Structure 1
């Protein structure tokens, strides 16, 4: 594919079209990341046969796509050169001043667990109000108050109180530790990454990566179960004989718990380091069994949110596993499908344990809805530690 060149006649420059740059520009104009990335990707494919395009032509094409997809409110801001846009600054404590960002404001609203289109509507409403006041600078306390009022009107008291609890939490030094468990095929890495992005969590960790490191350090002869998939680890366990001479076969749950227990050593190390450094973390993996999540959630130095993803229809899980071979070439769908019974049995075990340990179970196949349900779990966890009292939060100096 030939590289499309964007020509700026006014500046006499020629630069390659970059999807990431367009995605960021669309985000700056108020478009959610997922929609901005999708539009930029579609545009790249649409213009793949062209050698070059002017900046004016590119702006017109993008504006047309925005209008066609129902984002007409974004067109004006996107079409206005950055140098001509009104600039508003937010002042935080210690004289820290940063430009107002609608994307940052939406991120602060995510813990309200309201629908994303409503959150962007609230952010746009706040921005329009601030611009109508001809403000150059606003302090963060005033911005929180105005945002709360707009959210209260748009989504009601429950969502508005959730937003204030998030503000209380961010005023502390406690990190947010998100734990996402589940068997293969349930979307752990996707949902974990999406949630982390929306909340601005930079540090992520997969327990599969931890197991891989441990496998390189510990030979198979010492811990054979570590070198098998979680749903096949029982095959590495020895059989044993009862006194009457009968043979007892190891069970799938035994092998899983053996492997998960070994990986838990690394999991605890990553967790403790994040708490020590006061850095938020999103950790996902099949090895995050409910008892371990509950253990980690007892930490008073972090806000720990456990969760367990699940696909509760066997046929749906089978379809998901079959699709992984097409989406990720390094993963063999055939192998997963051959062991569907083991994977299904492991999920049944984990869901039963999650119920015993009060770990929230997230069941859905729509990524946006799953992320929203995790946001609700975060909101519920915040409610345990924070009041979200408007008088206390809004009057507190930030």
Structure 2
């Protein structure tokens, strides 16, 4: 940069010389790659040189740079840039006495050199730490926050042992603890919070960004141990700012589903090979539900009690149950009515046991996820479960080739216990059963979810569950209760 042509950036109380590197670091902090950050920084510099500017107010410079970022990389990148302290505005550290002193990258690097890092290593760490602090969105930080960020940077570059040595030198661990309502302390986890936010329908990038910002907000409270209500309040404020009131309500609903006052019963039906088991596991994990029940397991238990002579349909696959009514000499091709009739007979034999399991769960206020081909809408009477939130879903795979490919995946997942060839030999019957289940779902008003991309499938299922829970609470406002943080405030 030619100093003779440089211009000044006017801050609130002083002027500093424009520096290309400062702008580049600010853009890198917003997530831009180095080459692109340099290009935009030079475009900004060129813009003011062409205007022969001698002085530029910091607010005007930030606005111009934000427009350049938005034009090149879209509104999300511009929001990230504007959400951090502007370039040329110094970070400040508030000491224990309340005094504010400028953050010094040089002093931080010097302290790291004293711990054995080379000048190059210490300088790189100090630069990285300043960028992370700026990404946090505030120009005022506390010593614990600075120590925590330094520990994270050391650990990321040099491993857990290096982080432990740094924390030991500081005299205390740079960890944020969350105190549950029962008094149990757990470390704050960005990953767990980000996963919860993704369950609301937010994208991975925004979810991790909000989890990180929530952590920064909590550190600024000045305490190393905080009640869980403080975490929830911070998350709700961020959701309101970045995603709107609808996602705040979804966050509340997701929490309510994980700790429900009334049991949550999720019933997942669909033909073989559409991903019912995988979806049940994902929903149970994300929603924190304790039990998963498979209708195949219930059928197997009944087989041990009822002989094949007494109930031949029970001792066959759901898609070959129609053959139980044939004579040994008969070998007709499968027809839809016959296949569906045999399937219905097997379903009807499981209806009472499945209804009993649901009833027991409701009585014990125990939430469950139940999955299986035998969960056909309209067969199990659900009218008597007013004390529970019962949600039915049916999965389908419209593309036959994609459906066939899933049996190969399942063969691998079950270590060849479920051979692909067996299912493909009866694929026509399986598709007939899928059509029947979809028709029943449509007739009963049960959501049908296309089981394509698994992440999309899980998000779609959670969307239906949250919407159903929201509709139920809207219809029964008297049953709503205060959330823990509202009750405590």
Q: 1:369 aligns with which of 424, 446, 456?
A: 456
Residue 228 of structure 1 corresponds to: 316
Deviation sequence 1:118-177 (CA, Å, 0-9, x none)? 333322221222123332232333322211111222333222221123344556422222
Match for 1:125 among 213, 216, 228? 213
1:333 matched to 2:420? The reply is yes
CA contact (8 A) 1:107 1:200 kept: no
Task: Using the TM superposition, name which of 357-366 and 98-107 deviates more.
Answer: 98-107
> Are 1:396 and 2:487 an aligned pair?
yes
Which position in structure 1 is the counterpart of 2:437? Answer: 350
1:222-247 deviations in Å (ceiling 9; x for gaps):
111101111111111368xxxxxxxx
Partners of 2:389 and 2:375 in 1: CA distance: 17
Contact persistence 1:234–1:250 (CA under 8 A)? no
Q: Does 1:279 align with 2:366?
A: yes
Q: 2:398 aligns with which of 300, 312, 321?
A: 312
Q: Find 1:114's aligned residue among 172, 192, 202.
A: 202
- 1:80-229 maps to which residues of 2 (within 5 A)? 80=160, 84=167, 85-93=173-181, 95=183, 97-106=185-194, 108-109=196-197, 111-169=199-257, 172-229=260-317
| Structure 1: gaps (5+ residues) | 1-72, 240-247
Q: Which runs of 5+ in 2 are unaligned?
A: 1-148, 168-172, 328-334
- Residue 386 of structure 2, aligned match among 271, 293, 300: 300
Q: CA RMSD in A?
A: 3.2
Q: 1:331 to 1:391 in 2, by over 3 A?
A: closer
* Cα 1:251/1:110, change in 2 over 3 Å: same
Question: 2:320 aligned with 1:268, yes or no?
Answer: no
Given that residues 218 and 234 in structure 2 are in contact (C-alpha distance below 8 angstroms), is that contact kept between their aligned partners in structure 1?
A: no
Could you tell me whether the CA contact under 8 Å between 2:257 and 2:264 is conserved in 1?
A: no
Q: Write the distance in 1 (CA, Å) between the matches of 2:323 and 2:177.
A: 60
Q: Deviations over 1:292-312 (max 9, x none)?
A: 46x337622222221111101
Distance of 1:386 and 1:89 partners within structure 2: 33
Distance 2:274 2:303 in 1: 24
How many pairs are equivalent?
Answer: 317
What's the counterpart of residue 16 of structure 1? none
Cα contact 1:351–1:361 (8 A) shared by 2? yes
| 1:75, distance to aligned residue in structure 2 (A) | 7.3
Q: Distance in 1 between matches of 2:289 and 2:204?
A: 18
- Listed one character per residue, the Cα deviations across residues 192-240 of structure 1 (whole Å, up to 9, x for unaligned) are 112211222231111111111111111011111101111111111368x
Please identify the structure whose Cα radius of gyration is greater: 2
CA distance in 2, matches of 1:315, 1:108: 33
> Higher relative contact order at CA 8 Å, sep ≥6: structure 1 or structure 2?
1
